[in-house]
A = this chain, B = another copy of it.
């Protein structure tokens, strides 16, 4: 259940036992339900067991900026719960299965078991690396490049989470939500997706994305995967050459 952290270290039996013994309560959320509201003081940390969620903030004028998309296995809300007061919202994108773990227990296990603490810390560092990449995306790339970049990032993250292949996956997001990730309008997101489609880089059916030409899409998106810190070609030893 908490195995995703294993990416950063190999846990021994005691570590695993401690993780599995963590007190928690389960919950499910419907799409669009708010998990943590800005200004709230959550006393527990939220782990996403299945489904998708996203973090966002509403700026003056009512526009929304999405900061990150989370998929099953992600610890969504370390920041808000450890720092006391939430400075942004966490919301369900799809139907979600959640586990809430008291922040105290999280803090305790992190410092009692350095291996686990280190994994959690590293996880927050990678989160920050993704934030940085999004700053660059939104700040310095044009609309088509932003979209291509986002699609590439999702591809690798979903594959790493075992939720698809890097060249074909399901993405349960509306174009308006994609717009709020990229700082564009839904209208323009539509045009850019269409353009990528027309140029043969991707194909789309409903909410599924097929990347027809990974190399070209990555180039179009100015995408280099290093910031994600995903060990390439993990279990199903895909053809590494394809990634670059």
Contact = CB atoms under 8 A, between A and B. Distances in A.
A64 interface: yes
A136 interface: yes
Contact of A128 (B79, B110, B114, B118): B79
A69 interface: no
A43 interface: no
A127 to B, nearest CB: 6
Interface residues of A, number: 46
Contacts of A141: 59
A140 to B, nearest CB: 4
Nearest to A79: B125
A117 B108 CA distance: 12
Contacts of A72: none
B59 A132 contact: no
